[in-house]
A and B are shown apart, each in its own frame.
Chain A
Protein backbone atom coordinates (compact mmCIF):
# COMPACT_ATOMS: atom_id res chain seq x y z
CA UNK A 1 0.00 0.00 0.00
CA UNK A 2 1.10 3.51 -0.77
CA UNK A 3 0.85 6.58 1.36
CA UNK A 4 -1.10 9.31 -0.38
CA UNK A 5 -1.73 12.85 0.76
CA UNK A 6 -5.30 13.87 1.37
CA UNK A 7 -4.87 16.74 -1.10
CA UNK A 8 -4.21 14.24 -3.88
CA UNK A 9 -7.28 12.21 -3.01
CA UNK A 10 -9.40 15.37 -2.97
CA UNK A 11 -8.10 16.32 -6.40
CA UNK A 12 -8.23 12.95 -8.11
CA UNK A 13 -11.55 11.76 -6.70
CA UNK A 14 -13.27 15.13 -6.95
CA UNK A 15 -14.03 15.71 -3.30
CA UNK A 16 -15.68 18.83 -2.00
CA UNK A 17 -13.84 19.70 1.21
CA UNK A 18 -16.00 21.66 3.66
CA UNK A 19 -13.63 22.59 6.47
CA UNK A 20 -10.07 22.16 7.78
CA UNK A 21 -8.61 23.02 4.37
CA UNK A 22 -5.26 23.48 6.08
CA UNK A 23 -5.19 19.78 6.98
CA UNK A 24 -4.89 18.42 3.44
CA UNK A 25 -1.23 17.53 3.97
CA UNK A 26 -2.38 14.62 6.11
CA UNK A 27 -1.17 11.26 4.94
CA UNK A 28 -3.59 8.48 4.17
CA UNK A 29 -2.68 4.80 4.14
CA UNK A 30 -6.10 3.25 4.12
CA UNK A 31 -9.79 3.81 3.88
CA UNK A 32 -12.50 2.37 6.09
CA UNK A 33 -16.07 2.09 4.85
CA UNK A 34 -18.78 1.65 7.46
CA UNK A 35 -21.95 3.26 8.74
CA UNK A 36 -21.78 1.69 12.18
CA UNK A 37 -20.04 3.92 14.68
CA UNK A 38 -18.94 1.14 17.01
CA UNK A 39 -17.46 -0.72 14.09
CA UNK A 40 -15.31 2.27 13.19
CA UNK A 41 -14.28 2.66 16.82
CA UNK A 42 -13.23 -0.98 16.90
CA UNK A 43 -11.68 -1.41 13.47
CA UNK A 44 -10.74 2.02 12.17
CA UNK A 45 -7.04 2.82 12.27
CA UNK A 46 -5.18 6.04 12.82
CA UNK A 47 -4.79 7.88 9.51
CA UNK A 48 -7.74 6.18 7.82
CA UNK A 49 -10.17 8.05 5.65
CA UNK A 50 -13.65 7.10 6.82
CA UNK A 51 -16.30 6.61 4.13
CA UNK A 52 -19.84 6.83 5.45
CA UNK A 53 -23.36 8.05 4.88
CA UNK A 54 -23.78 9.23 8.47
CA UNK A 55 -23.94 13.03 8.66
CA UNK A 56 -24.61 13.76 12.33
CA UNK A 57 -22.07 15.39 14.69
CA UNK A 58 -21.07 12.15 16.38
CA UNK A 59 -19.02 11.12 13.37
CA UNK A 60 -16.59 13.90 14.30
CA UNK A 61 -16.23 12.53 17.81
CA UNK A 62 -15.42 9.09 16.40
CA UNK A 63 -12.89 10.49 13.93
CA UNK A 64 -11.26 12.53 16.68
CA UNK A 65 -11.00 9.60 19.03
CA UNK A 66 -9.45 7.32 16.44
CA UNK A 67 -7.19 9.94 14.89
CA UNK A 68 -8.71 9.48 11.43
CA UNK A 69 -7.42 11.65 8.57
CA UNK A 70 -10.83 12.71 7.41
CA UNK A 71 -14.44 11.77 6.72
CA UNK A 72 -15.93 11.29 3.27
CA UNK A 73 -19.72 11.58 2.98
CA UNK A 74 -20.99 9.65 -0.01
CA UNK A 75 -23.96 10.06 -2.37
CA UNK A 76 -23.57 13.82 -2.10
CA UNK A 77 -24.94 13.75 1.44
CA UNK A 78 -24.68 17.10 3.17
CA UNK A 79 -23.24 17.29 6.69
CA UNK A 80 -25.45 18.81 9.36
CA UNK A 81 -24.44 22.33 10.38
CA UNK A 82 -23.53 21.14 13.85
CA UNK A 83 -21.30 18.47 12.30
CA UNK A 84 -19.27 21.08 10.43
CA UNK A 85 -19.08 23.27 13.52
CA UNK A 86 -17.61 20.40 15.54
CA UNK A 87 -15.32 19.37 12.73
CA UNK A 88 -13.93 22.90 12.66
CA UNK A 89 -13.24 22.73 16.38
CA UNK A 90 -11.56 19.34 16.12
CA UNK A 91 -9.76 20.15 12.86
CA UNK A 92 -11.09 17.11 11.05
CA UNK A 93 -11.69 17.51 7.32
CA UNK A 94 -15.19 16.64 6.11
CA UNK A 95 -15.45 15.98 2.41
CA UNK A 96 -18.42 15.25 0.18
CA UNK A 97 -18.40 12.88 -2.79
CA UNK A 98 -21.12 12.42 -5.36
CA UNK A 99 -20.11 8.77 -5.74
CA UNK A 100 -21.65 5.80 -3.99
CA UNK A 101 -19.73 4.17 -1.15
CA UNK A 102 -18.93 1.26 -3.45
CA UNK A 103 -17.49 3.41 -6.19
CA UNK A 104 -15.58 5.75 -3.93
CA UNK A 105 -14.06 2.91 -1.90
CA UNK A 106 -13.01 1.14 -5.07
CA UNK A 107 -11.36 4.18 -6.57
CA UNK A 108 -9.58 5.02 -3.33
CA UNK A 109 -8.40 1.44 -3.05
CA UNK A 110 -6.98 1.63 -6.57
CA UNK A 111 -5.12 4.83 -5.66
CA UNK A 112 -3.67 3.41 -2.48
CA UNK A 113 -2.72 0.03 -3.88
CA UNK A 114 -1.07 1.76 -6.83
CA UNK A 115 -1.38 -0.98 -9.38
CA UNK A 116 -0.37 1.34 -12.22
CA UNK A 117 3.36 1.54 -11.60
CA UNK A 118 5.34 -1.53 -12.61
CA UNK A 119 8.20 -0.47 -10.38
CA UNK A 120 6.15 -1.48 -7.38
CA UNK A 121 6.40 2.02 -6.01
Chain B
Protein backbone atom coordinates (compact mmCIF):
# COMPACT_ATOMS: atom_id res chain seq x y z
CA UNK B 1 0.00 0.00 0.00
CA UNK B 2 1.32 3.38 -0.96
CA UNK B 3 1.60 5.92 1.85
CA UNK B 4 -1.10 8.15 0.49
CA UNK B 5 -3.54 5.28 0.41
CA UNK B 6 -3.18 4.40 4.07
CA UNK B 7 -6.26 6.34 5.10
CA UNK B 8 -9.44 6.19 3.13
CA UNK B 9 -9.81 9.93 3.32
CA UNK B 10 -6.41 10.88 1.99
CA UNK B 11 -6.07 8.84 -1.19
CA UNK B 12 -8.56 11.05 -2.90
CA UNK B 13 -8.21 14.03 -0.62
CA UNK B 14 -8.49 17.19 -2.66
CA UNK B 15 -6.13 19.00 -0.33
CA UNK B 16 -3.33 16.71 -1.46
CA UNK B 17 -4.17 16.62 -5.08
CA UNK B 18 -5.42 20.05 -5.77
CA UNK B 19 -4.91 23.20 -3.80
CA UNK B 20 -7.78 24.88 -5.54
CA UNK B 21 -10.36 22.70 -3.87
CA UNK B 22 -8.73 22.31 -0.48
CA UNK B 23 -10.37 23.60 2.65
CA UNK B 24 -8.39 25.02 5.57
CA UNK B 25 -9.90 22.58 8.00
CA UNK B 26 -9.85 18.87 7.13
CA UNK B 27 -12.98 18.06 9.10
CA UNK B 28 -15.11 20.73 7.47
CA UNK B 29 -15.95 20.24 3.85
CA UNK B 30 -16.98 23.02 1.54
CA UNK B 31 -19.83 22.63 -0.91
CA UNK B 32 -17.33 22.26 -3.76
CA UNK B 33 -15.51 19.46 -1.97
CA UNK B 34 -18.78 17.69 -1.45
CA UNK B 35 -19.65 18.07 -5.11
CA UNK B 36 -16.34 16.79 -6.47
CA UNK B 37 -16.95 13.57 -4.59
CA UNK B 38 -20.61 13.36 -5.50
CA UNK B 39 -20.28 14.11 -9.22
CA UNK B 40 -18.86 11.52 -11.56
CA UNK B 41 -16.42 12.07 -14.40
CA UNK B 42 -19.26 11.20 -16.77
CA UNK B 43 -21.29 14.14 -15.40
CA UNK B 44 -18.70 16.68 -16.50
CA UNK B 45 -17.01 15.18 -19.53
CA UNK B 46 -17.59 16.20 -23.13
CA UNK B 47 -19.33 13.42 -24.97
CA UNK B 48 -18.87 14.75 -28.47
CA UNK B 49 -15.33 13.70 -29.00
CA UNK B 50 -13.40 14.97 -31.95
CA UNK B 51 -10.76 12.42 -32.84
CA UNK B 52 -7.81 12.28 -35.20
CA UNK B 53 -5.88 9.37 -36.72
CA UNK B 54 -2.13 8.70 -36.50
CA UNK B 55 -1.80 9.74 -40.14
CA UNK B 56 -3.53 13.09 -39.78
CA UNK B 57 -0.89 15.71 -40.50
CA UNK B 58 0.15 18.39 -38.02
CA UNK B 59 -1.04 21.10 -40.39
CA UNK B 60 -4.49 19.49 -40.56
CA UNK B 61 -4.50 19.26 -36.77
CA UNK B 62 -4.32 23.02 -36.51
CA UNK B 63 -7.54 23.35 -38.48
CA UNK B 64 -9.26 20.63 -36.43
CA UNK B 65 -8.35 22.31 -33.13
CA UNK B 66 -9.34 25.73 -34.40
CA UNK B 67 -12.64 24.74 -35.98
CA UNK B 68 -13.79 22.83 -32.90
CA UNK B 69 -12.24 25.20 -30.38
CA UNK B 70 -10.54 22.38 -28.55
CA UNK B 71 -7.05 22.02 -27.18
CA UNK B 72 -6.37 18.38 -28.00
CA UNK B 73 -7.82 15.14 -29.35
CA UNK B 74 -7.48 11.43 -28.77
CA UNK B 75 -5.77 9.69 -31.68
CA UNK B 76 -7.73 6.65 -32.85
CA UNK B 77 -6.70 3.74 -35.00
CA UNK B 78 -9.01 0.84 -35.81
CA UNK B 79 -11.43 1.80 -33.04
CA UNK B 80 -8.63 1.92 -30.47
CA UNK B 81 -7.05 4.92 -28.83
CA UNK B 82 -3.34 4.94 -29.59
CA UNK B 83 -2.40 8.35 -28.21
CA UNK B 84 -3.34 11.94 -27.50
CA UNK B 85 -2.25 14.98 -29.43
CA UNK B 86 -2.54 18.43 -27.86
CA UNK B 87 -2.05 22.06 -28.68
CA UNK B 88 1.17 21.94 -26.63
CA UNK B 89 2.52 19.27 -29.01
CA UNK B 90 1.47 21.46 -31.89
CA UNK B 91 3.27 24.51 -30.51
CA UNK B 92 6.43 22.47 -29.90
CA UNK B 93 6.34 21.28 -33.50
CA UNK B 94 5.71 24.79 -34.77
CA UNK B 95 8.57 26.14 -32.66
CA UNK B 96 10.96 23.52 -33.96
CA UNK B 97 10.38 24.80 -37.50
CA UNK B 98 10.39 21.26 -38.86
CA UNK B 99 8.51 20.06 -41.91
CA UNK B 100 4.92 18.81 -41.74
CA UNK B 101 4.60 15.28 -40.38
CA UNK B 102 1.89 12.85 -39.27
CA UNK B 103 0.49 13.18 -35.77
CA UNK B 104 1.91 9.81 -34.72
CA UNK B 105 5.41 11.29 -34.62
CA UNK B 106 4.45 13.96 -32.10
CA UNK B 107 1.63 12.47 -30.03
CA UNK B 108 1.83 11.24 -26.46
CA UNK B 109 1.44 7.47 -26.53
CA UNK B 110 1.44 6.76 -22.82
CA UNK B 111 -1.96 8.15 -22.10
CA UNK B 112 -3.49 8.58 -18.67
CA UNK B 113 -7.20 7.88 -18.72
CA UNK B 114 -10.15 8.11 -16.38
CA UNK B 115 -13.06 5.77 -15.90
CA UNK B 116 -16.45 7.37 -16.47
CA UNK B 117 -17.80 6.31 -13.08
CA UNK B 118 -14.91 7.65 -11.00
CA UNK B 119 -15.65 10.70 -8.84
CA UNK B 120 -14.61 14.05 -10.27
CA UNK B 121 -12.03 14.51 -7.55
CA UNK B 122 -9.92 11.76 -9.11
CA UNK B 123 -9.85 13.62 -12.41
CA UNK B 124 -8.84 16.85 -10.66
CA UNK B 125 -6.03 15.01 -8.90
CA UNK B 126 -4.78 13.37 -12.06
CA UNK B 127 -4.88 16.56 -14.13
CA UNK B 128 -2.93 18.32 -11.42
CA UNK B 129 -0.36 15.61 -10.93
CA UNK B 130 0.33 14.89 -14.58
CA UNK B 131 0.02 18.44 -15.84
CA UNK B 132 -2.03 17.22 -18.79
CA UNK B 133 -4.72 19.49 -20.09
CA UNK B 134 -7.20 16.71 -20.83
CA UNK B 135 -7.89 13.10 -20.00
CA UNK B 136 -9.72 10.62 -22.20
CA UNK B 137 -12.60 8.91 -20.42
CA UNK B 138 -13.14 5.16 -20.75
CA UNK B 139 -16.26 3.17 -20.00
CA UNK B 140 -15.26 0.64 -17.35
CA UNK B 141 -17.38 -2.18 -18.77
CA UNK B 142 -16.71 -1.92 -22.48
CA UNK B 143 -13.25 -0.37 -22.29
CA UNK B 144 -14.35 2.05 -24.98
CA UNK B 145 -13.52 5.72 -25.23
CA UNK B 146 -16.71 7.63 -24.42
CA UNK B 147 -15.57 11.15 -23.59
CA UNK B 148 -12.85 13.59 -22.76
CA UNK B 149 -12.49 15.79 -19.71
CA UNK B 150 -10.62 19.07 -19.17
CA UNK B 151 -10.35 21.44 -16.23
CA UNK B 152 -12.68 23.77 -18.09
CA UNK B 153 -15.35 21.05 -18.25
CA UNK B 154 -15.01 20.43 -14.53
CA UNK B 155 -15.30 24.09 -13.61
CA UNK B 156 -18.27 24.57 -15.91
CA UNK B 157 -20.06 21.55 -14.44
CA UNK B 158 -19.41 22.64 -10.87
CA UNK B 159 -20.66 26.15 -11.52
CA UNK B 160 -23.74 24.80 -13.22
CA UNK B 161 -24.45 22.43 -10.33
CA UNK B 162 -23.97 25.22 -7.80
CA UNK B 163 -26.37 27.39 -9.76
CA UNK B 164 -29.00 24.65 -9.75
CA UNK B 165 -28.61 24.05 -6.03
CA UNK B 166 -28.76 27.75 -5.31
CA UNK B 167 -31.97 27.96 -7.31
CA UNK B 168 -33.46 25.01 -5.42
CA UNK B 169 -32.47 26.61 -2.16
CA UNK B 170 -34.23 29.79 -3.18
CA UNK B 171 -37.40 27.89 -3.95
CA UNK B 172 -37.09 26.09 -0.67
CA UNK B 173 -36.92 29.34 1.22
CA UNK B 174 -40.29 30.34 -0.17
CA UNK B 175 -41.68 26.91 0.35
CA UNK B 176 -44.79 26.77 2.38
CA UNK B 177 -45.15 23.02 2.18
CA UNK B 178 -45.42 22.71 5.93
CA UNK B 179 -48.47 24.89 5.94
CA UNK B 180 -50.78 21.90 6.14
CA UNK B 181 -48.90 20.41 9.07
CA UNK B 182 -49.33 23.63 11.00
CA UNK B 183 -53.05 23.92 10.45
CA UNK B 184 -55.32 21.84 12.61
CA UNK B 185 -58.67 20.80 11.25
CA UNK B 186 -60.57 17.85 9.85
CA UNK B 187 -60.50 19.35 6.42
CA UNK B 188 -57.91 21.83 5.23
CA UNK B 189 -57.69 23.49 1.84
CA UNK B 190 -55.85 26.47 0.46
CA UNK B 191 -57.91 28.19 -2.19
CA UNK B 192 -56.94 30.92 -4.64
CA UNK B 193 -58.72 32.37 -7.63
CA UNK B 194 -57.76 34.28 -10.76
CA UNK B 195 -60.03 35.84 -13.33
CA UNK B 196 -59.52 35.29 -17.04
CA UNK B 197 -60.41 37.91 -19.63
CA UNK B 198 -62.14 36.64 -22.74
CA UNK B 199 -60.66 37.26 -26.22
CA UNK B 200 -57.50 38.78 -24.74
CA UNK B 201 -54.69 36.71 -26.19
CA UNK B 202 -51.94 38.99 -24.93
CA UNK B 203 -52.73 37.97 -21.37
CA UNK B 204 -53.83 34.42 -22.04
CA UNK B 205 -51.98 31.98 -19.82
CA UNK B 206 -51.20 34.43 -17.03
CA UNK B 207 -53.59 32.82 -14.57
CA UNK B 208 -52.03 29.41 -15.18
CA UNK B 209 -48.49 30.76 -14.92
CA UNK B 210 -49.47 32.23 -11.56
CA UNK B 211 -50.98 28.92 -10.51
CA UNK B 212 -47.79 27.13 -11.47
CA UNK B 213 -45.62 29.49 -9.42
CA UNK B 214 -47.87 29.16 -6.39
CA UNK B 215 -47.85 25.37 -6.55
CA UNK B 216 -44.05 25.38 -6.87
CA UNK B 217 -43.78 27.55 -3.79
CA UNK B 218 -46.01 25.16 -1.92
CA UNK B 219 -43.35 22.54 -2.55
CA UNK B 220 -45.50 20.27 -4.68
CA UNK B 221 -43.68 17.72 -6.82
CA UNK B 222 -42.59 19.23 -10.19
CA UNK B 223 -44.37 16.50 -12.14
CA UNK B 224 -47.65 17.32 -10.39
CA UNK B 225 -47.11 21.04 -10.85
CA UNK B 226 -46.52 20.52 -14.56
CA UNK B 227 -49.69 18.50 -15.01
CA UNK B 228 -51.77 21.00 -13.06
CA UNK B 229 -50.28 23.89 -15.04
CA UNK B 230 -50.91 22.27 -18.42
CA UNK B 231 -54.50 21.35 -17.57
CA UNK B 232 -55.14 24.83 -16.24
CA UNK B 233 -53.48 26.45 -19.24
CA UNK B 234 -55.57 24.53 -21.76
CA UNK B 235 -58.74 25.40 -19.84
CA UNK B 236 -57.69 29.03 -19.62
CA UNK B 237 -57.06 29.18 -23.36
CA UNK B 238 -60.54 27.75 -23.97
CA UNK B 239 -62.03 30.50 -21.80
CA UNK B 240 -60.06 33.11 -23.75
CA UNK B 241 -60.96 31.72 -27.18
CA UNK B 242 -64.64 30.97 -26.74
CA UNK B 243 -66.08 33.03 -23.89
CA UNK B 244 -66.24 36.56 -22.55
CA UNK B 245 -64.27 35.56 -19.50
CA UNK B 246 -64.34 33.40 -16.42
CA UNK B 247 -62.47 32.30 -13.34
CA UNK B 248 -59.93 29.69 -12.39
CA UNK B 249 -60.07 28.51 -8.82
CA UNK B 250 -57.48 26.19 -7.39
CA UNK B 251 -57.98 24.44 -4.11
CA UNK B 252 -54.93 22.69 -2.72
CA UNK B 253 -55.61 19.98 -0.18
CA UNK B 254 -53.06 17.77 1.55
CA UNK B 255 -53.65 14.94 -0.92
CA UNK B 256 -55.02 16.57 -4.07
CA UNK B 257 -55.41 19.71 -6.12
CA UNK B 258 -58.83 20.66 -7.40
CA UNK B 259 -59.05 23.16 -10.22
CA UNK B 260 -62.39 24.70 -11.19
CA UNK B 261 -62.69 26.64 -14.40
CA UNK B 262 -66.00 28.43 -14.79
CA UNK B 263 -67.40 30.72 -17.44
CA UNK B 264 -70.78 32.15 -18.31
CA UNK B 265 -71.24 31.10 -21.89
CA UNK B 266 -71.76 30.25 -24.69
CA UNK B 267 -71.48 26.62 -23.55
CA UNK B 268 -70.59 23.46 -25.47
CA UNK B 269 -73.44 21.95 -27.46
CA UNK B 270 -71.94 18.49 -27.82
CA UNK B 271 -69.53 17.60 -25.03
CA UNK B 272 -68.72 14.15 -26.47
CA UNK B 273 -67.74 15.67 -29.77
CA UNK B 274 -65.68 18.35 -28.05
CA UNK B 275 -63.74 15.64 -26.28
CA UNK B 276 -62.65 14.08 -29.58
CA UNK B 277 -59.03 14.80 -30.48
CA UNK B 278 -58.84 17.33 -33.32
CA UNK B 279 -62.44 18.51 -33.07
CA UNK B 280 -62.53 22.29 -32.86
CA UNK B 281 -64.90 25.14 -33.53
CA UNK B 282 -62.19 27.79 -33.27
CA UNK B 283 -62.17 30.53 -35.89
CA UNK B 284 -59.48 30.76 -38.53
CA UNK B 285 -57.49 33.60 -36.94
CA UNK B 286 -57.36 31.74 -33.62
CA UNK B 287 -55.99 28.69 -35.39
CA UNK B 288 -53.38 30.75 -37.14
CA UNK B 289 -51.95 31.61 -33.76
CA UNK B 290 -51.55 27.92 -33.07
CA UNK B 291 -54.53 27.64 -30.75
CA UNK B 292 -57.78 25.82 -31.37
CA UNK B 293 -56.22 22.57 -32.57
CA UNK B 294 -58.93 20.55 -30.90
CA UNK B 295 -56.47 19.07 -28.42
CA UNK B 296 -57.26 21.19 -25.36
CA UNK B 297 -59.80 19.01 -23.60
CA UNK B 298 -57.86 15.90 -24.62
CA UNK B 299 -54.73 17.29 -22.99
CA UNK B 300 -56.65 18.25 -19.87
CA UNK B 301 -57.99 14.72 -19.55
CA UNK B 302 -54.50 13.28 -19.95
CA UNK B 303 -53.13 15.50 -17.19
CA UNK B 304 -55.97 15.03 -14.73
CA UNK B 305 -56.61 12.10 -12.44
CA UNK B 306 -60.29 12.93 -12.66
CA UNK B 307 -62.19 15.39 -14.83
CA UNK B 308 -65.80 16.57 -14.78
CA UNK B 309 -67.22 18.73 -17.54
CA UNK B 310 -70.71 20.20 -17.32
CA UNK B 311 -71.88 22.62 -19.97
CA UNK B 312 -75.18 24.26 -20.80
CA UNK B 313 -75.59 26.19 -24.04
CA UNK B 314 -75.94 29.95 -23.41
CA UNK B 315 -75.42 29.41 -19.67
CA UNK B 316 -71.80 28.43 -19.35
CA UNK B 317 -69.27 25.68 -18.77
CA UNK B 318 -67.96 24.24 -15.53
CA UNK B 319 -64.84 22.18 -15.68
CA UNK B 320 -63.49 20.48 -12.59
CA UNK B 321 -60.14 18.72 -12.55
CA UNK B 322 -58.61 16.69 -9.75
CA UNK B 323 -54.93 15.95 -9.57
CA UNK B 324 -53.71 13.49 -7.00
CA UNK B 325 -50.67 15.03 -5.27
CA UNK B 326 -49.12 11.67 -4.47
CA UNK B 327 -49.43 10.26 -7.98
CA UNK B 328 -46.09 11.45 -9.30
CA UNK B 329 -45.77 8.89 -12.04
CA UNK B 330 -45.54 10.04 -15.62
CA UNK B 331 -48.91 10.13 -17.22
CA UNK B 332 -49.25 8.54 -20.60
CA UNK B 333 -48.46 11.00 -23.31
CA UNK B 334 -51.02 12.22 -25.77
CA UNK B 335 -50.64 10.51 -29.10
The residues of A with any CB-CB pair to B shorter than 8 Å are 2-4, 8, 25, 35-39, 41-43, 52, 54, 56-59, 61-62, 64-67, 82, 114, 117-119, 121
Complex contacts, A25 vs chain B, CB 8 Å: 156, 160
* Contact status A119-B51, CB under 8 Å: yes
Q: Are B302's CB and A42's CB within 8 A?
A: yes
The list of the 8 closest CB pairs from A to B, nearest first, reads A42-B334, A38-B295, A61-B205, A36-B293, A37-B290, A54-B290, A38-B293, A65-B229
Q: Is B262 in contact with chain A by the CB < 8 A criterion?
A: no
For residue B201, CB closer than 8 A to chain A, the reply is yes
Q: Given contacts A36-B290, A37-B290, A119-B79, is CB(A61)–CB(B295) below 8 Å? A: no
**Bound complex: CA A52 to CA B209 (Å):** 21
What are 29 A-B interface contacts by the 8 Å CB criterion? A4-B48, A8-B48, A25-B156, A37-B290, A37-B291, A37-B293, A38-B291, A38-B293, A38-B298, A42-B298, A42-B302, A56-B289, A57-B202, A58-B201, A58-B204, A58-B205, A58-B289, A58-B290, A59-B290, A61-B208, A65-B209, A65-B230, A65-B233, A66-B230, A67-B226, A82-B202, A119-B76, A119-B144, A121-B48
Binary contact readout B230-259 vs A (1 if CB under 8 angstroms, 0 otherwise): 100110010000000000000000000000
Q: By the criterion CB–CB under 8 Å, are A42 and B333 in contact?
A: yes
Known: A42-B334, A43-B333, A61-B205. A121 touches B47 (CB 8 A): yes
The complex places the Cα of A22 from the Cα of B263 at a distance, in Å, of 41
Separation of A42 and B171 alpha carbons in the complex (Å):
26
- In the bound complex, residues from chain B placing their C-beta under 8 Å from that of A82 are 202
The reply to whether the CB of B120 lies closer than 8 angstroms to some CB of chain A is no
The reply to whether A121 and B145 form a contact with Cβ atoms under 8 Å apart is: yes
Query: What's the nearest-Cβ distance from chain B to residue A21, in Å?
Result: 15
Cα separation A36 to B234 with both chains bound (whole Å): 12
In the assembled complex, the Cα of A42 lies from the Cα of B226 at a distance in Å of 11
Partner of B48, one of A2, A36, A62, A64: A2
Shortest distance in angstroms between A38's beta carbon and chain B's nearest beta carbon?
4
Complex-state Cα separation, A41 to B129, whole angstroms? 50
In the complex the two chains form, what is the Cα distance from A15 to B143 in whole Å? 37
Q: Which residues of A contact B293 (CB under 8 A)?
A: 36-39
Distance between A23 CB and nearest chain B CB, rounded to angstroms: 10
Q: How far is the CA of A36 from the CA of B282 in the complex (A)?
A: 13
User: Shortest distance in angstroms between A61's beta carbon and chain B's nearest beta carbon?
Assistant: 4
A41 with B289: CB separation less than 8 A: no
Q: Return the contact of B209 from the options A35, A41, A64 (Cβ within 8 A).
A: A64
Contact of A2 (CB < 8 Å), options: B47, B205, B291: B47
- A35: B residues at CB distance < 8 A: 290
In whole angstroms, what is the CA distance A61 to B230 when docked?
A: 10
Beyond A117-B49, A121-B47, whether A38 also contacts B76 by CB under 8 A is no
- A-contact 0/1 string along B134-150, CB 8 Å cutoff: 00000000001111000
Tell whether, in the assembled complex, residue B201 and residue A56 are in contact, meaning their CB atoms are under 8 Å apart.
yes
- CA gap between A4 and B146 in the complex, in Å: 14
Q: What is the minimal beta-carbon distance from B168 to any residue of chain A, in angstroms?
A: 14
